[in-house]
Amino acid sequence: MLLSIVVLFFFSFSASAQWTQLTQDTNNYNCCVFFINPDTGFISGDYNGQHGLIQRTTDGGQTWSQNLLVNIFLAMNIEFPNDTTGYCIGQSGLVYKTVDMGTTWLTVGTVAANTDISAMHFLNKDTGLVVDFDGRIFRTTDGAASWNAVYSVASGFQNFYPGTGKFRFVNDSVGFLASGNYGSVMKTTDYGATWTAINLPTSNNTWALSMYMFNKDTGIVVGEAGRIWKTVNGGTSWSAPQIITPYDLMDVIFFNDSIGYIVGGENSNYVYHPPSYPPVGAKIFATSNGGQTWSTDTSLCCDWFTSICNAGNNVAYAAGWHGWLFKNNNALSLAGVSEFQVSSCKLFPNPVSSIVEFPLADHAELIDVNGRVVLSAEHVSRLNVSEVADGMYVLRLKTSDTISSEKIVVRH
C-alpha cells in the first residue's frame, strides 16, 4: 500500500514543563518508539518519503544513528523482547531482525505476500504476533522464520494509519488487540493461537487505534475522533465512548494504576473529520486517576504524535512525524504535579534565596521546568536551595493523605 506524503513546514514550539523536545531530522516520519531502558531506544518510520528507517540512541535521545531499509517504504513497528533481539515490521510484509541490540538489521522473511503489517508483539525472542491492514493476525514460533495465519477480521482496511492496532498481553496467555477499523477488539486466552472478536459500542465504526490493560479485567481502548472505551470485565463489555478531543488518539501508556498519557493529533493527510478545528496538530493528554478524567498536558500545532513509550525510571518518549520527538524525564511526578492540585503549599519566603519553609511533609521534592527532581528529602519542613540555579520550580509535598504543590522562584 502506497502512502502519499505531503511536505509540511516544520515549526519549533516549546512544550509544557515536563516535556522537552529532542532534536531530530524533520525528514523523519516517526511511527513507533521503543526503549529498552531510559538511555537505549529505537524509532521506526520513514526517511523523506523514500525508505524505511530505524534509528537508535544510546544516550537518552541526544544523538541517533540511522539504518535505511531500502526494501520497504515505511517501517511501522519495532519491538525488543530482550536487550539484544529486536524485530521491525512494515510494508510489503517484510520482517527485519537484529541480534546485536540494533547494530545490524537483516531481513528474516516475509509474513505474507502483498500485505502491510501495522502492529506486533513478541512474548520472547521466538514467539510473536503481527496484524496486517486486512485485519489478519499471524503467529510465529521460530523467530519470524515462518508465519501462520490464525485469525482474519472481516474489515478490509481502505485507509491507512501508521501503527494501526496495538497488542497488549497481561500474562503469557491472555492478550488483547485493538484491531483498527470497525471498532473491534480481539481477545486471546492461549497466546494468540485463537481469537475472539468483541465489538466496541460505537455507532459509526470508529477505529480502535491503541489500548492498555491494567490487568486481565480492566483496561481502556483509545481511537479515532478522541474516543476512549473502558472495560472492567476482561473485555466482555465496554463503556460508551468518552470523547476528550476531536483529534485522533494514537497511543496510550500508563506508569501505574493512576498516571497515564495519551498521544495523538491530526495529520493533514488523514483529516477524516469535519474541519471545525485546525487540520494539523499534536496532542498529549495526561491522567492521574486511572483514566477517569484527562487534561491536555501538551498542545502543539505541528503534525501528530503516533507513539509513546514508558522507558523505565519514570522516563517517557513521544514520537511523531516530521521529526517530532519529546522526552519526559519525570513522567510519574510531573503528571502528579499537574493533576493532584489538592491544596496549595504555604511557602515562606517566595522568592527564596536559601531556606524555604513549609508544613511538615513525609516527602518533599523540588522539580525544575524540564521535569527533573533537583532536590528531595524525607520528613522535613524546609529545604536549602542555595545551590540551586535561579529560576522557576515546583515544590511538591506529600503526606499520608495529601499531595500539594506550588510554584516557587529561586533567586539569589
**What single string gives the DSSP state of each residue in 333-350?**
HHHHHHH---B----BSS
Q: 266, 299 in Cβ contact below 8 A?
A: no
Find, among 187, 229, 233, the residue nearest to 207 by Cα: 229
- Least reliable range by pLDDT among 55-59, 93-97, 132-136, 242-246: 132-136
Our CA angle for 160, 164, 169, nearest 5°, is: 170
Give CA–CA dist 309/323, Å, rounded. 16
Sign of CA dihedral 14, 20, 22, 27: negative
Is residue 36 over pLDDT 70? yes
DSSP secondary structure letter of residue 133:
T
pLDDT for 271: 46
- Spatial separation of the C-alpha atoms in residues 171 and 143, rounded to whole Å: 20
Q: What is the pLDDT of residues 334-365, one digit of tens each?
A: 443 333 333 445 688 888 989 998 888 888 88
Residues 358 and 377: beta-carbon distance below 8 Å: no
Q: Given this model, what pLDDT does residue 401 score?
A: 60
C-beta separation of 43 from 78 below 8 A = yes
Residues 96-138: tens digit of each pLDDT: 999 999 999 999 988 988 788 888 999 889 999 998 877 788 9
Q: What is the mean pLDDT of the chain?
A: 81
**DSSP SS3 for 336:** helix
Percent of residues, the chain, with pLDDT higher than 90: 31
φ, ψ dihedrals at 72, nearest 5°: -130, 155
CB burial of residue 204 (10 Å; 0-12, 13-18, 19+): exposed
Q: Phi and psi at residue 268, in whole multiples of 5°?
A: -65, -20
pTM assigned to the model: 0.75
Sign, CA torsion 35/36/40/41? negative
